[in-house]
Copies of this chain bind each other. A is one copy, B any other.
Amino acid sequence: MIDIQEATQLVLSRKRDFGTEKRPLEQCSGRVLRQDIRADRDFPPFTRVTMDGIAIQWAAYEKGQRRFPVEGIQAAGSPQLRLMDAGSCLEVMTGAVLPENTDTVIRYEDLQIEEGQAQIIPEAKVKAYQNAHGQGTDRQAGDLIVASGAVLSPAEIGVAATVGLPELEVACMPKAVIVSTGDELVPVASRPEPHQIRTSNSHTIQMALSRWGVPADRLHIDDELEATKTALGNCIQNYDIILLSGGVSKGKYDYVPAALEALGAKKHFHKVKQRPGKPFWFGEVEGQCTIFALPGNPVSSFMCTQRYVRPWLRVNLGLEPMGYAHAVLAEDFHFKPDLTYFLQVKTHYDAATGRLMAQPVEGHGSGDLANLADANAFLELPRGRNDYAAGEVFPLIFYR
């Protein structure tokens, strides 16, 4: 039995590469970019009018001229016009090209326009070259705007659209399958016999994965060695990652470790000094399939998914390891076994100090799924001690 530090290190050191794929912009939210996004032209691509009004030559204004005959209108989306007479003006619209032979824009608020003549009002404050956004001042053609490795959010999607990329090269997400075991389990829509319960873990884990961008199928295997071997063999062929729930304890029908080892999966560890989640088994068919065999209790499997699967995913997408939040234990807590304890807590900000407080949420152990709905995080209490005092700070895993 290893401790959580060693388990974490073993999980994060198993490197995989899921390849890259091109996806349309709408499907790139949260994906990891695998190409550089560069400016295909200057930004802005032309000196751009930023206020509706008139474009003039600064030199004319500087010499005292305040009244300008209007030669025409430069609309947004129209080819660039040319001011013919240095002493006249062109009306210009926001987003338009600044006309040739002009350099300064006076906004309508500072003008009176009557009978083809624009008069600048005396109160107007006019500065040279104002209200024109110079070509290439944001970025120049060829500049790197978003580097490979970025996580794509709406801001990066806007950049990609601007530089003419309707699709982006992104890291593939691993293909996952969630396998539930346990003959006591029946489907959600069925009416269980008194000794049966409905499947819930695979739904919980499926949604957690989908929030991280990982599509996952669900599968149930009966507690029978040959059936377990056949089904897991197919999963190893067809998926990058298997998340099992149940079948990893010391029970007579816990065939999962035996079946995985018979299929050539290498075990990296079985059992971790933690509660919940002690029977956690981790291994792989090298280069082909990574296997997280989690305990069947709802709180255990959920905690292990948050604490091990999520960081593994980040690292294998080439992202920085996850930074942990930290919170203040709100009341004294006692825990006897020599195990890291993942305490279910509900967090709030203390109004007086602004500190993030973690209030233990009383539950009834790792089978108490309902309790997960009352809490919002796990507080990670280190092993090697029995008493944890109110006011101490510990790592926190938010799961909402």
Interface residues of A (CB under 8 A from B): 25-26, 28-29, 39, 43-46, 48, 50-53, 73, 75-80, 91, 93-97, 107-109, 133, 137-139, 145-146, 150-151, 153-166, 182-185, 188-201, 203-208, 210-211, 223, 246, 249-254, 296-298, 302, 363-373, 375, 399-400
In the complex, are the beta carbons of A372 and B158 less than 8 A apart?
A: yes
Given contacts A48-B367, A161-B199, contact A223 B154 (CB under 8 A): no
Given contacts A77-B223, A94-B296, contact A198 B162 (CB under 8 A): yes
A236 to chain B, nearest CB (A): 24
What chain B residues lie within 8 Å of A107 (beta carbons)?
Answer: 250
Partner of A78, one of B138, B195, B250, B368: B195
What chain B residues lie within 8 Å of A91 (beta carbons)?
Answer: 252
* Other 12 A-B pairs with CB < 8 A, given A138-B369, A153-B400, A155-B204: A46-B195, A50-B365, A52-B252, A76-B251, A77-B185, A78-B195, A94-B249, A154-B208, A158-B203, A159-B372, A160-B203, A164-B191
In the complex, are the beta carbons of A166 and B183 less than 8 A apart?
A: no
A135 to chain B, nearest CB (A): 10
Rounded to whole angstroms, the CA-CA distance of A165 and B80 in the bound complex is 63
Given contacts A198-B164, A204-B155, A205-B154, contact A184 B76 (CB under 8 A): yes
The 5 A-B pairs at the shortest CB distance, nearest first, are namely A77-B183, A158-B204, A77-B184, A155-B372, A161-B200
What are some 9 contacts across the A-B interface (CB < 8 A)? Answer: A76-B183, A96-B195, A145-B370, A151-B400, A153-B399, A154-B207, A156-B373, A159-B200, A159-B373
What chain B residues lie within 8 Å of A203 (beta carbons)?
Answer: 25-26, 154, 157-158, 160-161
What chain B residues lie within 8 Å of A153 (beta carbons)?
Answer: 207, 399-400
A220 to chain B, nearest CB (A): 12
What chain B residues lie within 8 Å of A191 (beta carbons)?
Answer: 164
Rounded to whole angstroms, the CA-CA distance of A216 and B199 in the bound complex is 34
What chain B residues lie within 8 Å of A254 (beta carbons)?
Answer: 52, 93
A342 to chain B, nearest CB (A): 14
What chain B residues lie within 8 Å of A52 (beta carbons)?
Answer: 249-252, 254
In the complex, are the beta carbons of A159 and B370 less than 8 A apart?
A: yes
Closest to A326 in B: B354
In the complex, are the beta carbons of A146 and B373 less than 8 A apart?
A: yes
What chain B residues lie within 8 Å of A44 (beta carbons)?
Answer: 197, 367
In the complex, are the beta carbons of B369 and A223 less than 8 A apart?
A: no
In the complex, are the beta carbons of B108 and A250 less than 8 A apart?
A: yes
In the complex, are the beta carbons of A194 and B80 less than 8 A apart?
A: yes
Rounded to whole angstroms, the CA-CA distance of A77 and B249 in the bound complex is 16
In the complex, are the beta carbons of B194 and A46 less than 8 A apart?
A: yes
Partner of A166, one of B43, B73, B188: B188
Rounded to whole angstroms, the CA-CA distance of A93 and B296 in the bound complex is 12
Rounded to whole angstroms, the CA-CA distance of A298 and B159 in the bound complex is 10
A2 to chain B, nearest CB (A): 17
Given contacts A77-B182, A371-B138, contact A188 B201 (CB under 8 A): no
What chain B residues lie within 8 Å of A160 (beta carbons)?
Answer: 188, 203
What chain B residues lie within 8 Å of A193 (beta carbons)?
Answer: 79
What chain B residues lie within 8 Å of A201 (beta carbons)?
Answer: 158
A57 to chain B, nearest CB (A): 20
What chain B residues lie within 8 Å of A372 (beta carbons)?
Answer: 155, 158-159
A375 to chain B, nearest CB (A): 8
Rounded to whole angstroms, the CA-CA distance of A197 and B188 in the bound complex is 52
A126 to chain B, nearest CB (A): 16
Given contacts A93-B252, A95-B184, contact A155 B399 (CB under 8 A): yes
In the complex, are the beta carbons of A75 and B162 less than 8 A apart?
A: no
